[in-house]
Amino acid sequence: MGLITFLKNKFSKKKSNETYEKGLAKSRAAFADRLDDLSKRYKKVNSEYFEELEQILIESDVGVSLTLKLVDSLLDKSQKEGLTEPSKINEELIDQMFVSYVEGGESITNEIAFASEGPTVLLVEGVNGVGKTTSIAKLAHRYMGQGKKVLLVAADTFRAGAVSQLKIWAERLGCPIVSGLENGDPASVCYDGAKYAVNNNIDLMIVDTAGRLHNKTNLMAELGKMKRVIEREIPGAPHETFLIIDAQTGQNGVSQAKAFKEVNDLSGIVITKMDGTSKGGIILSIRDELGVPVRFIGLGEAMTDLAEFDLDEYLHALLVGNEKK
C-alpha cells in the first residue's frame, strides 16, 4: 500500500489537523495540484515528464540535491520495473519523500525533554526577521500551558529592539524575564538568568541568543562563552538548541541553518510562517541537507498555531488536503 493510500485511509478514520490544512494550503496548490495536473497531461511517463517533475520539486523548495536524488531514483525504477503510469510514479515519489525524511537523520520526539533535576535550558537562535522572538513567546506559552514555570532570558543584546520586544512578550505572558542593557555582554545576561532559574525553581529557561552571521568566528566565540557560563551554573545545560527558520526565505533559510550548524550543535528546527509560503518542500530540504529534525512548525499567527511537527499530518496536508474541490 502506497503512502498516499495510507494517508487517505488514516485521515478518513480520524479528523486531520485543520491548522495543518490551512497552513499548507498555498504549498499544496503549488505542489500537489501541479503534480496532479502533470499526471493528467501524460498517458505515459517520458523524459519530458521527469523534467517537469524535477521543476515542480525544485520550485516547491525540496532542494536541488534531494530533487535530483528523487528523480534519478524514480527514473531508474521506471526503467527497471517498467513503470510508465504517471499516477504510479507519483505514488512512488511520495513514498520516497517520506523515506527520505525518516532516514535523513536522528529520530527525536518533538517535545522538549526536561532535565530530571533543576532547570532545563533551551537556546534559541536565528537571524533577524525570521520570527525568533515570537517563536520564543509561543514556546513559552505552550509550556506554561503545561504547568511549567518558564523564564525568558533576553541575551540577544546586539539587535536593536530585541530586549524590549521580549520584555513586552514576558509581560503579556505573565512570566519572569532576565535582561541586560542593549549592546551588553550576552554571557553576563545568561549568568544572571541561570542564577535566577536555579534560585526560583524554574522548569524551563528559554534564552534568546544572538543571530549574527556576518562573522562566524565571533558568533562561535559568543555562543561558546554563553554555553560555558550557563553550564557552570546548571550542569548539563544547555539541554536543547533550536534554530528558527522563516519558510518564506526558501533555500536561503537552508543556507542559514548550515552556517549555524557549523558553529554549534542544533537539536531541532522551528519553521515559521509556513502559512505564508508556497514552498512547503523546505522541510524535506532541511532534513536532507542538515539531518536535523523539524520540531515545531508555525502555521499561523495565533499563540496556538505553533504546532508539533507531525510528518503524516504534514504530508497529508501538502499532498492530499481535504479534497473538497
The owner of cell 534560585 is 199
State how far the Cα of 243 lies from the Cα of 75, in Å rounded to an integer. Answer: 35
Confidence label for 18 from pLDDT (cuts 50, 70 and 90): confident
Confidence label for 325 from pLDDT (cuts 50, 70 and 90): very low
124 and 97, same domain (yes or no): no
State how far the Cα of 86 lies from the Cα of 56, in Å rounded to an integer. Answer: 14
176 and 234, same domain (yes or no): yes
Asked whether the bond before 238 is cis by omega within 30 degrees of 0, the reply is: yes
State how far the Cα of 273 lies from the Cα of 268, in Å rounded to an integer. Answer: 17
Cell output for 4: 498516499
Comparing 192 with 279, the larger pLDDT belongs to 192
Tell me the pTM: 0.89
Question: Looking at the domain assignment, is residue 299 inside a domain?
Answer: yes
140 and 238, same domain (yes or no): yes
State how far the Cα of 296 lies from the Cα of 105, in Å rounded to an integer. Answer: 16
Q: Angle, to 10 degrees, between the axis of helix 86-102 and the axis of helix 64-81?
A: 130
Whether the pLDDT of residue 127 is over 50: the answer is yes
- State the DSSP code for 274: G
217 and 258, same domain (yes or no): yes
pLDDT in tens, 65-76: 999 999 999 999
Question: Looking at the domain assignment, is residue 210 inside a domain?
Answer: yes
Contact 256, 127 (CB under 8 A): yes
86 and 134, same domain (yes or no): no
- What is the CATH number for 55? 1.20.120.140
Say what the pLDDT of residue 324 is: 44
Average pLDDT over residues 84-113: 85
Could you say which of 77, 103, 129 is where a domain stops?
103
Checking DSSP bridges between strand 294-298 and strand 120-125, what pairing results, if any? unpaired
Comparing 174 with 305, the larger pLDDT belongs to 174
Nearest to 177 by CA among 200, 157, 154: 154
Question: Looking at the domain assignment, is residue 319 inside a domain?
Answer: no
40 and 188, same domain (yes or no): no
Whether the pLDDT of residue 299 is over 50: the answer is yes
CB within 8 A of 224, min separation 6: which ones?
264
Checking DSSP bridges between strand 294-298 and strand 268-272, what pairing results, if any? parallel
CB within 8 A of 265, min separation 6: which ones?
241
140 and 207, same domain (yes or no): yes
Contact 240, 268 (CB under 8 A): yes
CB within 8 A of 168, min separation 6: which ones?
none
Question: Looking at the domain assignment, is residue 187 inside a domain?
Answer: yes
129 and 277, same domain (yes or no): yes
Nearest to 303 by CA among 125, 169, 175: 169
Q: Considering the chain, what is the average pLDDT of its residues?
A: 87
135 and 83, same domain (yes or no): no
- Amino acid present at 180: G
Could you say which of 70, 103, 136 is where a domain stops?
103
Question: Looking at the domain assignment, is residue 211 inside a domain?
Answer: yes
Could you say which of 72, 103, 134 is where a domain stops?
103
Contact 203, 211 (CB under 8 A): no
Centre a 10 Å sphere on the Cβ of residue 294 and count the other Cβ atoms it contains.
23
Percent of the chain with pLDDT over 70: 90
145 and 175, same domain (yes or no): yes
C-alpha torsion sign, points 7, 9, 10, 13: positive
Nearest to 138 by CA among 191, 182, 175: 175
152 and 59, same domain (yes or no): no
pLDDT in tens, 306-324: 999 988 888 888 876 544 4
90 and 131, same domain (yes or no): no
| Alpha helices for 64-183 (secondary structure H) | 64-81, 86-102, 132-144, 162-173
State how far the Cα of 170 lies from the Cα of 182, in Å rounded to an integer. Answer: 17
Question: Looking at the domain assignment, is residue 200 inside a domain?
Answer: yes
Number of folded domains that form the chain = 2
Percent of the chain with pLDDT over 90: 48
Contact 120, 130 (CB under 8 A): no
Nearest to 204 by CA among 245, 248, 254, 151: 151
Question: Looking at the domain assignment, is residue 169 inside a domain?
Answer: yes
Domain assignment of residue 53, given as a range = 2-103
Nearest to 130 by CA among 20, 293, 285, 242: 242
Question: Looking at the domain assignment, is residue 272 inside a domain?
Answer: yes
Q: How far is CA 108 from the centre of its chain?
A: 13
- What is the CATH number for 295? 3.40.50.300
